[in-house]
Amino acid sequence: MRSDGVSDEFLTYSRDMILKHHLATGDSGEGYGTISPTRIQQEIDTLVELGVLKPGQVSVEQVLALPFVPQSDE
C-alpha cells in the first residue's frame, strides 16, 4: 500500500536516514521486524538502561502474547 502523497525521492531519503542513523537493526538471518521473547527483553533492558523504565517494571509476558508468535529455536 502506498500513499499518493509520498514520492519515490522521499521514500529513498527515509530509507537512507534509517540506515545511516542505525534506526532499525536486526541480527543476520533474522527477518526484519521479527519479534521474539529475547528481542523484547533486549528492548526492555535498553529502556531500563536509559532510565525510561525501572528494573522489574515491565516483563516480556506483559508486552508479548506468546500464543501469537511463531516458535523459534531460541
Is residue 6 included in any domain, yes or no? no
pTM summary value = 0.53
Residue with grid cell 531519503, as numbered in its chain: 13
Residue ranges making up the domain that contains 53? 35-74
Residue 48 lies in a domain: yes
Whether 15 maps to a domain, the answer reads no
- pLDDT digits 0-9 by tens, 32-74: 667 788 888 999 999 999 999 999 999 999 998 877 766 655 5
Residue 57 belongs to a domain: yes
What is the total count of domains within the chain?
1
CA 1 from chain center: how many Å?
21
